Amino acid sequence: MMHDKNFDAWNIEKKRIDTLKPHINFYIHEREVWWAAIGVNIGTEIDGKNQQYERPVLVLRKLGKEQFLGVPLTSKNKMGIFYTPVQYGEGNGTACISQIRVFSTQRLLRKIGKVSTKDFEIVTKQLSKLIATGRI
């Protein structure tokens, strides 16, 4: 399904986000889920929604004080090797493992919750398996 992508509006928001100071003192941890301004992206890359171009993101690993490795989540039930269901806060979602990337903490908007240790292990094992087989 195609939808119009407003790159110009996202560019304005991205410039605003870039002027913010990095959230160096954020205490983000593995397994946490945050709303993050991930923006409007190209092709089939997952987009953010609403005025802040936001999407839930699962923190896989903190990478220093200003960035982290994360996996975007969707509320849609998706099946296949690149998707893993997770529960967080009061919501359910699907981790889009193929969309893994490094995020700046400047993109973080607010914390939603945390996935269970079991769900986190499933996501990280599936990611490791995909990397080991050369699919990511």
Mean pLDDT of 40-49: 76
- Token pair in block for residue 16: 């605003």
The per-residue pLDDT for 110 is 92
pLDDT digits (tens, 9 = 90+) for 61-109: 999 888 999 999 998 889 999 999 999 988 899 999 999 999 999 899 9
Confidence of residue 9 (pLDDT cuts 50, 70, 90): low
Best CA proximity match to 112, nearest among 14, 7, 28, 34: 34
Provide the token pair at 95. 């981790």
Give the span between the Cα atoms of 49 and 79, in whole angstroms: 22
